[in-house]
A and B are shown apart, each in its own frame.
Chain A
Amino acid sequence: MNLIDQLLARDTILLQGHAGTWQQAVRLGVDLLVEAGCVEERYYDSIIAMTGELGPWYLLAPGMAMPHARPEEGVLKNGFALVTLETPVVFGDPDNDPVDILITLAATDARTMNEQSIVEVVTLLDDEARVERLRQVRTRDELLTLFNEIQG
């Protein structure tokens, strides 16, 4: 799976991170994408501003968020960042709070975002047992074991 390969190749992974607010949680993911050269700093500001305007539309299911903004908001290349949190944060959506798994997305065009990036993320997360294991992963070795099983 391209998503897993990209996470490992770019090392855009943070396990059991610390965030006190949803904004800090989003920051953790965007920082990984900035370090990997996938987005500019302003991508964070766009996600926060859009969330203020529209609400957290990117909460996929209980505990899971997929923060992203539009390609023109500072995306340099396609990328994903995986963040799990030691303590979940609240986005203000009773259906899906609290959240402790975030996959932040960057895509250079809307078509790639909708037809590839998002489909890869939901395909990875649409398995309750797998998500529960991801939630428990503490080390990179444990994550690699899980990824190897997923990729078969």
Chain B
Amino acid sequence: MECRHVEIVNPTGLHTRPGNLFVKHAKSFASDIHIVKNDKRVNGKSLLTLMKAGISLGDKIVIEAEGPDEAAAADAMAHLIATLTE
């Protein structure tokens, strides 16, 4: 498993529009992708569960990827979060 620690830098956090972008991108990888925020661990390929985690500006999260393309997936998802602007 590959993990990346990232901080949410965009004002709206991982709410619907950026969240949807994250989920669509996550689905392009074969690996399982999860987001961990404090004691919550949610499926990064489901907008429904991602929304439930309520990830906002300033939150520090961990991206976990596990599978055949886990390193590429973890890097790509961390990069996406770091470059969100909305």
Measured CB to CB, the residues of A under 8 A from B are 54, 57-61, 64, 66, 68, 95, 110, 113-115, 118-119, 121-123, 125-126
Contact = CB atoms under 8 A, between A and B. Distances in A.
A61 B17 CA distance: 14
A3 to B, nearest CB: 13
Contacts of B49: 122, 126
A126 B48 contact: yes
5 contacts: A54-B17, A59-B47, A60-B47, A68-B16, A119-B52
Contacts, number: 45
Interface in B29-71: 46-49, 51-52, 54, 56
Contacts of A54: 17
A55 B85 CA distance: 18
Most chain B CB within a 10 A radius of its CB, from A61, A114, A126: A114
A121 B50 CA distance: 12
B48 A122 contact: yes
Nearest to A59: B47
Interface in B67-82: none
Contacts of B48: 60-61, 64, 122, 125-126
A57 B15 CA distance: 10
B47 A118 contact: no
Contact of A123 (B17, B21, B52): B52
A110 B56 CA distance: 12
A119 B12 contact: no
Given A119-B51, A119-B54, A122-B52, A110 B17 contact: no
A121 B17 CA distance: 16
